[in-house]
Amino acid sequence: MAFTLYALIQTAILLTNAVAVLHEERFLSKIGWGADQGIGGFGDEPGIKAQLLNLIRSVRTVMRVPLIAVNSVCIVLLLLFG
């Protein structure tokens, strides 16, 4: 399989966009993955599900603004160069 670095960047952007589009109250809460449903006690270390929810929430918070910029750049480049 011939991968290029460009394909990797494309995959990364698409995956990050996919995570950023998950809606908090329409989708994540419905399937029990909401931001307030994952955190257990402060005792033992969190399990995999709690870590995953944490990851999704932090990706959505952190990557919102940079994704706007990156997507705009992608749109412009794809319009210009096909």
Strand (E) or helix (H) holding 61: helix 48-81
Residue 60: strand, helix, or coil: helix
Pick from 34, 46, 59, 63 the residue near another protein by CB under 8 A.
Answer: 46
Whichever of 14 and 55 has its CB closer to another protein, that residue is 55
Q: What is the greatest pairwise CA distance in the chain?
A: 54
Contact pick of 18, 36, 41, 45 for another protein (by CB under 8 A): 45
Please provide residue 38's backbone torsions phi and psi, each rounded to the nearest 5 degrees.
-95, -30
Compose the 58-77 pattern: x for residues touching another protein by CB under 8 A, - for all others.
--------------------
According to the binding rule CB under 8 A, does residue 18 interact with another protein? Answer: no
